[in-house]
């Protein structure tokens, strides 16, 4: 595989992730990347995602029994996540709006370099409390 091809695949995966706020899985990313680079395999998409995660460009969200979801790290935009237990939707939570976490309870001498929070719960749509929000098609309640 040529360097140029790898660069184009990498760029295509980044563009797909940058355009999405849905925290997609690799299969969805693959389907989107194929719109630009039709010959790209799912394996290539996985390898490209792995490299992007290693480079700190993309972060993963992992949940037991579910496909890993991917998130593009936007510069200067630190965020946490709120995860719906019912439909698995993942919402961004602006880290600047979340009060600072007290480091109490950490092992003595442990140096915190980053904080990642996940709020688990039920989204408004699944809770049936969406203000004027109709359940989207295919959304099972
Ligand atoms: Zn939900
Ligand atoms: Zn996110």
Report the topology of domain 8-72: Arc Repressor Mutant, subunit A (1.10.10)
Widest distance between CA atoms in the chain: 52
Question: Considering the entire predicted model, what is its pTM?
Answer: 0.76
Calculate how far, in angstroms, residue 130's C-alpha sits from the geometric centre of ligand 1. Answer: 10
Q: What is the pLDDT of residue 65?
A: 86
Domain chopping of the chain, boundaries: 8-72, 79-129
Tell me: is residue 123 an annotated ligand-binding position: yes
For 114-137, how does the pLDDT look when each residue is reduced to its tens digit (9 = 90+)?
788 899 999 999 999 655 544 454
Calculate how far, in angstroms, residue 111's C-alpha sits from the geometric centre of ligand 1. Answer: 35
Tell me: is residue 84 an annotated ligand-binding position: yes
For 10-67, how does the pLDDT look when each residue is reduced to its tens digit (9 = 90+)?
999 999 999 998 999 999 999 999 999 999 999 999 999 999 999 989 999 988 888 9
Q: How confident is the model at residue 103 (pLDDT cuts 50, 70, 90)?
A: confident
Calculate how far, in angstroms, residue 26's C-alpha sits from the geometric centre of ligand 2. Answer: 15
What's the CATH number of domain 79-129, 3.40.190.10, 3.40.50.10090, 3.30.200.20, 3.30.1490.190?
A: 3.30.1490.190
Calculate how far, in angstroms, residue 127's C-alpha sits from the geometric centre of ligand 1. Answer: 7
């Amino acid at each position: 595989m040529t360097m140029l091809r790898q660069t184009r695949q990498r760029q295509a995966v980044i563009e797909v992730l940058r355009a999405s706020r849905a925290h997609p899985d690799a299969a969805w990313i693959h389907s989107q990347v194929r719109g630009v680079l039709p010959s790209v395999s799912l394996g290539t998409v996985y390898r490209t995602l792995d490299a992007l995660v290693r480079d700190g460009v993309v972060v993963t969200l992992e949940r037991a029994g579910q496909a890993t979801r991917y998130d593009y790290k936007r510069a200067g935009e630190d965020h946490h996540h709120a995860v719906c237990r019912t439909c698995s939707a993942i919402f961004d939570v602006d880290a600047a709006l979340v009060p600072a976490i007290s480091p109490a309870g950490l092992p003595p001498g442990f140096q915190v370099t980053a904080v990642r929070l996940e709020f688990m719960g039920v989204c408004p749509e699944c809770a049936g409390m969406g203000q004027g929000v109709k359940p989207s098609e295919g959304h099972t309640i």
